[in-house]
């Protein structure tokens, strides 16, 4: 076996992360042991699973365990497992680079964050895993041999930018991580991680539920000075989810959550259930109180792990939790599945689909309870996860009603408070049978949109929807509690006349009064603007603005159009409708001017300005801003 040492550099991001870890981002250094034990436990799970699936794999799984060993003279602490081990390539890939999706993004975000507290809370969401060893060690030596291979590898680093790697013979299958502990100079209050009591305390606190024995060699001296050597198992090994709820403390739940989620967020809800009958399973689910930083990045995984009779099968089990509930973390332990089960088969499995339906109901039920019992906590929850839940309105039509009950939205009713659809319905005016909303990019843009004018003047409440996902779900959900949802920027609106069957206003009396007066102006405008709009008509939704642009009931909103274009979608321009305020002085003056001299180019320019102004008012982009500005300045100058 070649024993030549190769020195490699850590990937740039890894180096940055290491620097952060070493320079103490965690005030609590104890967690290094939890991280190493959790890695060891994962490695044992993997070996057990692999040996069950691959009967040719020659490994001894009769005594899978984790062993902790202390060498007082050398000042080392070693965490050893007889699990799956790593090949040389595994080490370079898993330890030398950051494979975790989102890590680079996280580091980027941290660099941009000037505020130290915010940076701390960002990194706090993120388990740094193996690297946490460098919080307490100035050198780490890892020896490992992958199950099914002959040769082992030794990896060593001081965490400063490079690591050494070489082949070694004579290793057992599994991994040992030896920490050369930093010297404690008493001053900095660092804990003594060579002390047995200290190690016992940390294991009990963080790793008690690990299903594999965590053993440590002990030395005892009795009163007569007789020393005995023994081996103690430090953890109770009971899977938390298998214990009755009444016997589990909140602190234990939280520790378990940290272990499976690799983050350190507080918990908002814990769901612990056991299903009996022909398909038995236990489920322990957690809703964190804060969204992870990568909740909306494309490759965010689902957070539920699948076990079969205490054997770990897979992470992020998408068959058990829909994408929109990806923030739910936890464990499902099913008793009657094959260990060999694949993701594809799971998706098809009738029993698993039943479990999934039940889990969704449980989660939505827990959220509903939170909404009913604690408005403040619910508001916080919604601010973190509302956007994800609204995706459910697109994905999960079985639960549309339940999800709509949970929706919270800003509204013209109260500038400081959100409202539920239920509360909106309770406040509806006599005879109102429609839930009005307006989508847009920001609250200010929506509130100040000309479309709002008549609704505000007449006292109708309008929901203000500014999440990108709002653009989509409102089109998919026909009604809430029998009340249609309608955009105030779409279709005809007449707040004086009762709406007819398909909700289009019957044509307002106020508007009808003016139709006659505008009989020549409207067709003329339609010709001038034929490239831009499909129709020009009089409006009953404006009180102070001269004009606004509206869509037909099924037209795409401008925000949605923008979103599609931003995603690179090729789309023909969407032509909408220009509505004019028949009582606005600019519009009446335009009418008179056109009647006096139908060929005056100045009138045509005013038309362009009216259209451009309406586009700007709804947050749209002008096709030719320079021309618009020139026309505007010309006309202003002429007016002075």
Q: Which does 86 bind (CB under 5 to 8 A by kind): Mg ion, ligand ADP, none?
A: ligand ADP
Query: What is the distance between the alpha carbons of residues 178 and 274, in angstroms, rounded to a whole number?
Result: 40
CB of 287 to ligand ADP, least distance (A): 21
175 near ligand ADP, judged by CB under 6 A: yes
Q: Tell me if 40 contacts ligand ADP by CB under 6 A.
A: yes
Query: Which structure tokens are listed for 269?
Result: 């809800």
175 or 539: whose CB is closer to ligand ADP?
A: 175
39 near Mg ion (CB under 5 A):
yes
| Chain centroid offset of residue 144 CA | 36
Residue 505's binding partner out of ligand ADP, Mg ion, none, with CB under 5 to 8 Å set by partner kind: none
What stretch of H or E contains 307?
strand 303-308
Alpha helices in 400-557 (DSSP H): 400-406, 421-427, 443-447, 453-457, 470-476, 509-515, 521-528
Angle, CA of 148, 149 and 150, to the nearest 5°:
130
Minimum CB separation of residue 44 from ligand ADP in Å reads 9
Q: Considering beta carbons, is residue 159 or 612 the nearer one to ligand ADP?
A: 159
The residues in 102-131 that bind Mg ion, with binding defined as CB under 5 A, are 129
What is the footprint of ligand ADP within residues 63-92 (CB under 6 A)? 81, 83-86
Task: Supply the minimum distance, in Å, between the C-beta of residue 545 and ligand ADP.
Answer: 55
Q: Is 20 in the site for ligand ADP (CB under 6 A)?
A: no
Structural tokens at position 298? 């494309």
Please, what is the minimum distance in Å from the beta carbon of residue 127 to Mg ion? 7
Q: With both helix axes pointing from N to C terminus, report the angle between 250-261 and 31-53 in degrees, rounded to the nearest 10.
A: 70
Measured between alpha carbons, how far is 84 from 92 in angstroms, rounded to an integer?
A: 16
Compare residues 99 and 616 and give the one whose CB is closer to ligand ADP.
99
Is position 15 an interface residue for ligand ADP (rule: CB under 6 A)? Answer: no
**Interaction mask 88-107, ligand ADP, x per CB under 6 A:** ------xx------------
Q: Which residue is nearest to ligand ADP (CB)?
A: 129
Choose among 64, 33, 69, 72: nearest CA to 217.
69
Residue count of the chain: 640
Least separation in angstroms between residue 39's CB and ligand ADP is 3
Report the C-alpha gap between 505 and 432 in whole angstroms: 12
* Cα distance between residue 610 and residue 522, in whole Å: 13
The count of residues interacting with ligand ADP (CB under 6 A) is 16
At which residue do the structure tokens 């940076």 appear? 119
Tell me which of Mg ion, ligand ADP, none is bound by residue 271, counting a contact when its beta carbon lies within the kind-specific cut-off of 5 to 8 angstroms: none
**Which CB, 159 or 582, lies closer to ligand ADP?**
159
> What is the spatial distance between Cα 49 and Cα 44, in angstroms, rounded to a whole number?
9
DSSP string, 377-404: HHHHHHHHHHHHHHHHHHH-GGGHHHHH
Of the candidates 122, 137, 125, 128, the residue with the CA atom closest to the CA atom of residue 194: 137
Segment near ligand ADP (CB under 6 A); pick from 38-46, 467-475, 518-526, 605-613:
38-46
Q: How far is the CB of 129 from Mg ion (least distance, A)?
A: 4
**What is the spatial distance between Cα 615 and Cα 621, in angstroms, rounded to a whole number?**
7
Stretch near ligand ADP under the rule CB under 6 A, chosen from 1-9, 36-44, 422-430, 530-538: 36-44
Should residue 165 be labelled a site residue for ligand ADP when binding is judged by CB under 6 A? no
Start-to-end CA span in the chain (Å): 93
Q: Which is nearer to Mg ion, 90 or 467 (CB)?
A: 90
Please identify which residue in 17, 37, 43, 485 interacts with ligand ADP, judged by CB under 6 A: 43
Q: Which residues of the chain form contacts with Mg ion (CB under 5 A)?
A: 39, 129
Q: Which residues of the chain form contacts with ligand ADP (CB under 6 A)?
A: 35, 39-40, 43, 81, 83-86, 94-95, 127, 129-130, 175, 262
């Amino acid at each position: 076996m070649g024993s030549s040492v190769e020195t490699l550099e850590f990937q740039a991001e890894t180096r940055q992360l290491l620097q952060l870890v070493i320079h103490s981002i965690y005030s609590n250094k104890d967690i290094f042991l939890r991280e190493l034990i959790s890695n060891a436990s994962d490695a044992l799970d993997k070996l057990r699973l692999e040996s069950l699936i691959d009967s040719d794999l020659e490994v001894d799984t009769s005594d899978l365990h984790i062993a902790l060993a202390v060498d007082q003279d050398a000042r080392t602490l070693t965490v050893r497992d007889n699990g799956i081990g790593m090949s040389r390539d595994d080490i370079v890939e898993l330890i030398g680079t950051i494979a975790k999706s989102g890590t680079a993004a996280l580091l980027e975000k941290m660099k941009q964050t000037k505020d130290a507290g915010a940076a701390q809370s960002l990194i706090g969401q993120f388990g740094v895993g193996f690297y946490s060893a460098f919080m307490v060690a100035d050198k780490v030596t890892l020896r490992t041999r992958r199950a099914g291979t002959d040769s082992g590898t030794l990896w060593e680093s001081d965490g400063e930018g490079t690591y050494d790697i070489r082949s070694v013979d004579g290793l057992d299958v599994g991994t040992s991580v030896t920490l050369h502990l930093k010297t404690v100079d008493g001053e900095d209050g660092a804990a003594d991680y060579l002390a047995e009591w200290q190690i016992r305390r940390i294991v009990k606190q963080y790793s008690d539920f690990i299903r594999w024995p965590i053993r440590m060699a002990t030395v005892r001296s009795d009163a007569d000075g007789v020393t005995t050597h023994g081996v103690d198992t430090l953890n109770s090994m009971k899977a938390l989810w298998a214990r009755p709820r009444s016997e589990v403390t909140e602190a234990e739940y939280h520790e378990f959550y940290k272990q499976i989620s690799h983050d350190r967020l507080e918990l908002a809800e814990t769901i612990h259930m056991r299903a009996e009958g022909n398909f038995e399973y236990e489920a322990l689910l957690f809703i964190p109180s804060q969204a992870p930083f990568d909740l909306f990045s494309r490759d965010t995984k689902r957070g539920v792990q699948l076990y079969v009779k205490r054997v770990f099968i897979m992470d992020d089990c998408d068959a058990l939790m829909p994408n929109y509930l990806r923030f739910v973390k936890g464990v499902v332990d099913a008793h009657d599945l094959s260990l060999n089960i694949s993701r594809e088969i799971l998706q098809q499995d009738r029993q698993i689909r039943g479990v999934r339906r039940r889990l969704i109901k449980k989660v939505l039920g827990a959220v509903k309870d939170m909404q009913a019992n604690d408005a403040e906590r619910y508001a916080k929850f919604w601010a973190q996860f509302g956007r994800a839940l609204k995706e459910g309105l697109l994905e999960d039509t079985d639960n549309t009603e339940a999800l709509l009950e949970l929706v919270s939205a800003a509204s013209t009713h109260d500038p400081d408070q959100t409202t539920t659809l239920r509360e909106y319905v309770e406040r509806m005016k006599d005879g109102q049978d429609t839930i009005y909303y307006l989508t847009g990019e920001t609250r200010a843009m929506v509130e100040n949109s000309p479309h709002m004018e008549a609704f505000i003047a007449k006292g109708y409440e309008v929901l203000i929807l500014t999440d990108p996902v709002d653009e989509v779900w409102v089109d998919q959900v026909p009604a809430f509690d029998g009340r249609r949802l309608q955009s105030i920027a779409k279709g005809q609106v007449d707040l004086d006349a009762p709406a007819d069957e398909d909700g289009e206003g019957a044509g307002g009396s106020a508007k009808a009064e003016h139709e006659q007066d505008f009989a020549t102006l409207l067709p003329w405008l339609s010709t001038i603007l034929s490239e831009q709009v499909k129709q020009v008509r009089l409006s009953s939704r404006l009180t102070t603005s001269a004009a606004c642009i509206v869509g037909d009931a099924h037209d795409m909103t401008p925000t949605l159009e923008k979103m599609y274009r931003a995603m690179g979608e090729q789309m023909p321009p969407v032509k909408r409708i220009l509505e004019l305020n028949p009582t606005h002085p600019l519009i009446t003056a335009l009418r008179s001017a056109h009647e006096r001299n139908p060929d005056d180019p100045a009138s045509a320019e005013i038309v362009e300005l009216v259209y451009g102004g309406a586009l700007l008012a709804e947050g749209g982009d002008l096709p030719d801003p320079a021309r618009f500005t020139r026309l505007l300045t010309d006309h202003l100058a002429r007016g002075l």
